[in-house]
Amino acid sequence: MLSSKVMAEIQIEVSSKKLFGDLHIPKEPIGLVIFAHGSGSGRHSPRNQFVAKKLQERKLATLLFDLLTLEEEAVDDVTRELRFNIAFLAERLVQVTDWAAKHHPMPVGFFGASTGAGAALQAASIRDVKAVVSRGGRPDLAKEALSKVKAPTLLIVGSLDPIVIELNEEALQMLHCTKKLEIVDGASHLFEEKGKLEIVAQLAGNWFVKYLAASG
């Protein structure tokens, strides 16, 4: 395993297809956080990049990758089928998790945003990950998989996002693992208000450090 910050860009082969990702491994990492972005977004999401940087400062390795290939993205820009196919996205996340376990073995957590949170939780019901964090997510999209999730799960929602709060409250009841719902006061769906994304990064960092370090 590499022991210092690495690779501005990597390629991950899954099912004979190549996905592009950004992998950062700080010195003596306590775990790896794999990001699952929301619909219409990608590894260059400024919000996820910001959170990833804050996690790296806390000795957490991060992997941001594009859930779709370039060809799939081109087609999906028209059909918009794959970006909302939670089962498909979860399987991609599982495959990338398996790749990470082979090449950079360490405790793994998922950070899911928007629809990516549904994919992260469904993937967490399949693979033994140590923690899941959802930012403004749609955990309800994981449906029946929620009851199978064993990883401690933190749901973060803005107080100005009432519909998503309701969906997260419903999903929270369906989770049978260690769980918590954090509502960030004064934050909207994208946490664009001043200082709100910093709060998300702090909450997520605390959660991952607690549960990934404990399993390392």
E strands of 30-175, at which residues?
Answer: 31-36, 60-65, 108-113, 131-135, 153-158
Tokens linked to 140: 């309800």
Cα torsion angle, 69, 6, 54, 46, sign: negative
Task: Give residue for tokens 């964090």.
Answer: 133
Q: What are the structural domain ranges in the chain?
A: 10-215
Q: Which fold has domain 10-215?
A: Rossmann fold (3.40.50)
Q: Which two tokens stand for residue 149?
A: 């999730």
pTM for the full model? 0.91
Mean pLDDT by 10 residues, the chain (216 residues): 54 84 92 85 78 96 85 58 79 93 94 93 96 94 94 98 96 96 96 96 98 81
User: Quick one: pLDDT at residue 70?
Assistant: 66
